[in-house]
Amino acid sequence: MDTQKLSAVASAIVSHAKGVLAADESSPTIKKRFDSIDVESTEPTRRRYREILFTTEGIEQEIGGVILFDETIRQSTLDGVPFPKLLAERGIVPGIKVDRGARALACYPGEKVTEGLDGLRDRLVEYRELGAGFAKWRAVIEIDEHDAPSPFGIRANAHALARYAALCQEEGLVPIVEPEVLMDGGHGIERCEEVTSRVLEAVFSELDAHRVLFEGMLLKPNMVIAGKQCFRQNSPEEVAEATIRCLNRYVPAAVPGIVFLSGGQKAEEATANLNAMNKMGRRPWEVSFSYGRALQAPVLAAWKGQESNVAAAQQALKKRARLNGLAREGKYSPAMEAEA
C-alpha cells in the first residue's frame, strides 16, 4: 500500500475550494432524470450528457473529483478521448462507483444492506487500469421516528463499507465511504443526529478494525437534517450546528475531508447548508461537497436534450460549481443565486 499516494490523492480531491461532482447515476436512475426532461435514455444520449458535464470550461477550479458509473468510465468524447483521461488532463481525479446497490437485509424487514463485495478486488484492478484514482460505495440507512435502523442493520453496512475501503486501499484507490442516513420520513433533526451518531461510530470502529488508513480516505455522509415530511424544517445554521457537533464527536481528525451528499435537497439548500458549516470556522478536515442532483438538476433543466442549449447547460453547471466553491469558504450568499 502506497500510503503517501493515497493521502496525496485524497487531499487533492478536497483541496482549496474544491469538491466532487457525483455523475455515477445507474442506468435506471439517469433514465428517471432524462424522463423529467422528455429525453430518451440511450447510450448515445447518456454519453453526450456526460460529455457536456466534463467539458464545461473552468469547472476544475471547484471540482477536484468526478464519480463515474461503469458505463461512463469506458466512454469517450466525440473526438475519442476517454473520459478518465479528459478529466485527469484537467487536474480532476476520476473515480468510480463500485457497489451494486442496496438490497433487502435478510430477516430485518424494511432495512437494506449494500451488495457488491464478490469479485470487487478484480474489478478495482480493472478500474485502476482504466484511470480511476478513487472509488465510492454507498450504504443506505433507513430511518424512522422510533425503531429503524436496528443495531445489526447499522453493523452490517458498516462492516461492508470497511471491507470495501480496505480492498480499495490495497489496490491503490482512495475509498469514499458513504453511509447515508436517508432524509425520507417525518423524523426531526434530533432523531437524525442520534442515528447519524450511531452510524458514524460503527463505521469508524469497523474501518479501524480493518486497518483502513484514515489519511487515505474521504467520508461522504448525510447532513444532520430533518426528514422531508417533518413539520419543522431547520435553518442552515441549525443544520450546520447539529452536523458539525456530530462529526466532531465521531470522525477522526486524520480524515482529510468530508464531502457531503445532498440527499435530495434542492441545489440552493445544499449550498446554503454547506456554507453555514464553513462559516463556523476551520475544522480538522476539509468540509466539502459530493453533490449529484444538487449540481446537475439545473444543468438538465437548461439542456433539455437540445444541442442548441449546451452552452446554457454548461453555464448552469459552472454557476453551481462556483457557488459551492464559495460555500467551501463560507462566502456564499443566497443573493448570488440571482446573478448571471
Q: Which residues are catalytic?
A: 178, 220
Q: Where are the beta strands (DSSP E) in the chain?
A: 19-23, 63-68, 93-97, 102-104, 112-114, 134-141, 174-181, 218-219, 257-260, 286-291
Q: Is the dihedral of CA 240, 242, 244, 247 positive or negative?
A: negative
Cis peptide before 149 (omega within 30 of 0): yes
Helix (H, G, I), strand (E, B) or coil at 67: strand
First-last CA distance in the chain: 46
Residue 253, classified by CB atoms within 10 Å of its CB into exposed (0-12), middle (13-18) or buried (19+), is: exposed
Angle at 176 between CA 189 and CA 262, to 5 degrees: 35
> Cα separation of 98 and 103, whole Å?
15
Matching residue, cell 482512495? 174
CA 289 to CA 14: how far, in whole Å? Answer: 9
